[in-house]
Structure 1
Amino acid sequence: MKGPALPGRSYITRSLLRRDTGSASVQGVLAACRRHVAGLSRHPPGAQSPYQRVRWRRRATPLDGSVSGPIRKRSSSGHERCKHRLAPGDSTTHCRSLAPLQVKAMRTMSEFSSRNSKPRGGWDALRQATKVSAMLAGVLGLVGCTPEQQLQLEQDALSSSRAGLTMGGSSLLHRYSFTAGGTDSVSAAHATLEGGATTVNGEVILSGAGAYVNLPITGTLASLQDATFEAWVKWDSASGQTWARIFDFNDGVWNKSLVLTPRNGGFDSGPAVDAPRFSIFSPAISGEEQATSATGFPTGALTHVAVTMDSVARVNRLYIDGMQVAQTTTPTALTPASLGTLANAWLGRSAYSADPFFKGSISEFRVHGAALSSNDLTASYQAGPDTVMAPGTEHVVIDGRTDVAGMAADTTSVYWVEKRTNGQVMKASLSTGRAQVLASGRENPSAVTTDATFVYWVEDDKAIFKMPVNGGSITSLASGLSGIGQLVTDGAELFWTQGGSILHMPVQGGTPAILYTTALAGPLAVDGHHLYWMQPGGTIVKAARPGGPASSLWNSSNATTGIASDGTDLFIAENLSPYDILRLPVGGSQWALAFAVRYGNITSLAVGPNRVAWFDPSLGAILAKGK
């Protein structure tokens, strides 16, 4: 598959790219995309092509831009090649032709602490990279790249602009310290202690005779492509503990599971009987992907154990006391999300009834929405169970976006729509920034919302669609409407603005009905109890849903461009210097500064359980910060 020869248009694009980026030529990018498309056609899904399983290794350059050596990548075979040399036989001119996109060591966002500071260093590179991305998308479209292929190549090219900026925040989704029963100190997904399990001095005691911990996190697991599970455990003895579980996340019938055992029984052809093993399977036994240590699990001592799942590198790794002890030996295909929504998430209990319960104690259990690095896990082990490594502050989730028309967020991801004739519905991990095209070729998508199960959006201001958050079939919910503005959901109903009215209907679809007729001036928000909107003049109104009386909550300003509620606080974005995001209790009270945005404009705002996210069009970036 090769792109058509379009001398007129491609000449114009090349001229633009030379002028705006200083690049000597765009031919390397064109050739890279053509080779990428050709490579995909030669290597069907499931086969390993020359363009898969690449591990990047960046070499930073000084702030003056001087380059001390070539930027290289390491292929799965261990050989080093020029970063932009995507196929055998290429010359290094491809790397030189993209010199302005080379990695530079840039100041982190923490240096821009002044609310009125001017962009420097990394911000300039980020704004420049946004222009490059916009033109690059056009170039890649000319040569026949699909939106998914364009996204991958755009992100490869933009990786340099991100180098010194804070990318991704804390990936921690759940934390159980067992100092107050089964409290989850991060997401309030509190565990229950079953079968006589008790907490004493910051650890849960598991007797090995029916005691276990039940975690309500199956919804989180169903959303994860990448993950890290880490725990501090003390295993009393290996005696009688073959196939005991540190954790077992399962479908209830032992057909789909994620399992960590300190002592595997070796019933299959796997290595190292009586050693710790992590496995994920669907179906059981024949569909297992495992990482098994060559040495036994410590007994009688507090031990740090962690599992990482990396869907891009296609590898799962097992760590004990900060050191990697095993990894999968063939490319992985399964992720927590690929198993669907499981029935159980247990600590200390197996889904297979013949297996023993874990005998010992657990002092800490954590779930992360990213595959932590070996350095991260070494640092976590050294810090101990009582210390969580400091999360990032304000951070870039993804950059290079130019047409963002609406945003939404859940625990792990941010969703947005890019409004144009051939528009897209997009998703990115809040912790890693890894992006995914959920739907492409959509007609002017203009608003988006999510309930963590489905993502919903508006097209051409007159139709509403939905699809699963991890991709799948698209369902039309409503059509023939007119002038749809904002769209929000509480998980049971959809609410949207349309002219001077607020309408609603069930998330399954149905006949839209008018809920309120009122003067509207922009943002709309909803939580489990109330609906919020802004009237002309900046007054924010609150009404008990569904259809309760409306009352004034707070006098905002006409510069308010976004409101979002997490059920406790209403977050208010003001697109006027000094660009504050405010926090107002939903019951009404004195507002407080949630945080001052470190740079520039805010045109979209979204709030998840752990983070606030917003879009800055001057940077072409979606940013986020922990609440």
Structure 2
Amino acid sequence: MIKMRILSCLLITSIVAGLFSFIPANKANADAGLMLWYRFNEGTGTKVADSSGNGRDGILNGNCSWITTQNGSGAVALDGSSGYIKMPNGLLSGLTETTVSARVFVDPSNVNPSWVFNFGTTTDSKSDVNAHYFGFLLESGAYRVMLAKAHWTDEQNTKVNSTFSTGVWKYITYTQKETLGTLYVDGVKVAENTNVVYTPKDIESTVANFIGRAPYTADNYFKGKVADFRLYNRALSATEVVELSNGGAADIVAMDKAALTLEDLSQVTSKINLPTAGVNGSTITWVSSDTSLVSSTGYVTRPKYP
């Protein structure tokens, strides 16, 4: 009887191990107009290479660390107290439209207000009434992308009135064409402003272009991780934004697959509890290789032994 039970449990375990399946993420095709692309694959040193081929390399400053995500791509972890990436000056010159995108992981202990990225003319915008900036701000209960030419007094906001997710990877994308600013998270439009009166070129001349550092001395450094940072000289279409975010989904899928755990299968007699969502937000689907033993929803039909 003991031998028969062990064989039965091994059979169930083997079937479950083969059930896990994800729909592969599409590779992003939106490369036209790419001005700057940080893949963070260096793993050592302070130089962040520009993979767009335009030579716009960045520099790590403060407490930053190179990390590798679950599927082997690179990223940088920022500590929230001194770590940031300095990008070259003048990146917005001549731009009447743009796209900025990145995959970000906001640490649950990140303190707001904090800025994921900023293109600006100063690091002390409070003292400079003519401060120009264009950035992504995380606040308590909200997040937004803004363009301003007179510090906080004339910010043009594309805003979401809810807290940005923490502890999970998210793909953020902001596009602007003429007066239309659109903000996406994971390829889904979450905010739109049809009357953004400034274009990116209006923010020049920028010398405070950062990932993880604010244009205000009183605001906080960003604490979290950043991967796949891109700047374009055009506004991507909604379809291209989806393709781009799906390209970043490969890491999320890999992390959720690695984190997947099931109950003690040796105790299963009728149903396996199969997770349908990953800890990082992916959707999990299951397919049985033998529905006479285990259904795709986890119901078990134990084999009979003489």
Q: What's the TM-score, normalizing by structure 2?
A: 0.64
Q: Contact conserved, 2:110 with 2:224, CA < 8 A, in 1? A: no
**Aligned equivalent of 2:265:** none
Task: Quote the offset at 1:335 in angstroms.
Answer: 1.1
SS in 1 for 2:48: coil
Q: Contact conserved, 2:147 with 2:203, CA < 8 A, in 1? A: no
Q: Which amino acid in 1 is paired with 2:139?
A: N
Q: Establish whether residue 171 from structure 1 lines up as the match of residue 33 from structure 2.
A: yes
Q: Establish whether residue 291 from structure 1 lines up as the match of residue 161 from structure 2.
A: no
Task: Quote the offset at 1:385 in angstroms.
Answer: 7.0
- For residues 176-575 of structure 1, the aligned pairs below 5 Å read 176-180=38-42, 181-186=47-52, 187-201=54-68, 202-216=74-88, 218-237=89-108, 239=109, 241-252=111-122, 253-254=124-125, 255-261=131-137, 263-264=138-139, 274-311=141-178, 314-328=179-193, 330-384=194-248
Q: Which deviations, in whole Å up to 9, do the C-alpha atoms of 1:108-137 show, x marking residues without a partner?
A: xxxxxxxxxxxxxxxxxxxxxxxxxxxxxx
SS in 2 for 1:384: helix
Q: Contact conserved, 2:110 with 2:222, CA < 8 A, in 1? A: no
List gaps (5 residues or longer) in structure 2.
1-29, 69-73, 126-130, 252-306
Q: Which deviations, in whole Å up to 9, do the C-alpha atoms of 1:481-519 show, x marking residues without a partner?
A: xxxxxxxxxxxxxxxxxxxxxxxxxxxxxxxxxxxxxxx
Change in CA separation of 1:353 and 1:377 when aligned onto 2, cut-off 3 Å: same
Q: Contact conserved, 1:232 with 1:385, CA < 8 A, in 2? A: no
Change in CA separation of 1:342 and 1:234 when aligned onto 2, cut-off 3 Å: same
Task: Quote the offset at 1:386 in angstroms.
Answer: 7.7
Task: Quote the offset at 1:284 in angstroms.
Answer: 1.6
SS in 2 for 1:380: helix
Q: Contact conserved, 1:250 with 1:342, CA < 8 A, in 2? A: yes
Q: Contact conserved, 1:197 with 1:206, CA < 8 A, in 2? A: yes
CA distance in 2, matches of 1:184, 1:240: 27
Task: Quote the offset at 1:384 in angstroms.
Answer: 1.7
SS in 2 for 1:249: strand
Q: Pairwise CA RMSD of aligned residues? A: 1.9
SS in 2 for 1:276: strand
Q: Contact conserved, 1:176 with 1:183, CA < 8 A, in 2? A: yes
Higher relative contact order (CA 8 A, sep 6+): 2
Q: Contact conserved, 1:364 with 1:385, CA < 8 A, in 2? A: no
**Aligned equivalent of 1:593:** none
Change in CA separation of 1:380 and 1:240 when aligned onto 2, cut-off 3 Å: closer
Task: Quote the offset at 1:363 in angstroms.
Answer: 1.3
Q: Which deviations, in whole Å up to 9, do the C-alpha atoms of 1:37-92 show, x marking residues without a partner?
A: xxxxxxxxxxxxxxxxxxxxxxxxxxxxxxxxxxxxxxxxxxxxxxxxxxxxxxxx
Q: Which amino acid in 2 is paired with 1:367?
A: L
CA distance in 2, matches of 1:179, 1:169: 18
Q: Contact conserved, 1:249 with 1:257, CA < 8 A, in 2? A: yes
CA distance in 1, matches of 2:134, 2:189: 19
CA distance in 1, matches of 2:160, 2:219: 20
Larger gyration radius, structure 1 or structure 2: 1
Q: Which amino acid in 2 is paired with 1:259?
A: G
Q: Contact conserved, 2:172 with 2:184, CA < 8 A, in 1? A: yes
CA distance in 1, matches of 2:245, 2:198: 27
Identity of aligned residues (%): 26
Q: Which amino acid in 2 is paired with 1:326?
A: A
CA distance in 1, matches of 2:142, 2:166: 12
Q: Contact conserved, 2:157 with 2:196, CA < 8 A, in 1? A: no
CA distance in 1, matches of 2:155, 2:195: 12
CA distance in 2, matches of 1:327, 1:291: 6
CA distance in 2, matches of 1:377, 1:365: 14
CA distance in 2, matches of 1:356, 1:277: 16
**Aligned equivalent of 2:273:** none
CA distance in 1, matches of 2:92, 2:227: 21
SS in 2 for 1:219: coil
SS in 1 for 2:231: strand
Change in CA separation of 1:364 and 1:386 when aligned onto 2, cut-off 3 Å: farther
List gaps (5 residues or longer) in structure 1.
1-167, 266-273, 388-627
Task: Quote the offset at 1:227 in angstroms.
Answer: 0.2
CA distance in 2, matches of 1:285, 1:207: 26
Q: Contact conserved, 2:80 with 2:110, CA < 8 A, in 1? A: no
Task: Quote the offset at 1:169 in angstroms.
Answer: 7.5
SS in 2 for 1:224: coil
Q: What's the TM-score, normalizing by structure 1?
A: 0.32
CA distance in 2, matches of 1:169, 1:304: 17
Q: Which amino acid in 2 is paired with 1:377?
A: V
SS in 2 for 1:383: helix
Q: Contact conserved, 1:206 with 1:358, CA < 8 A, in 2? A: yes
Q: Which amino acid in 2 is paired with 1:176?
A: Y
Q: Which deviations, in whole Å up to 9, do the C-alpha atoms of 1:292-333 show, x marking residues without a partner?
A: 11332111111100111111xx111111010010112x5222
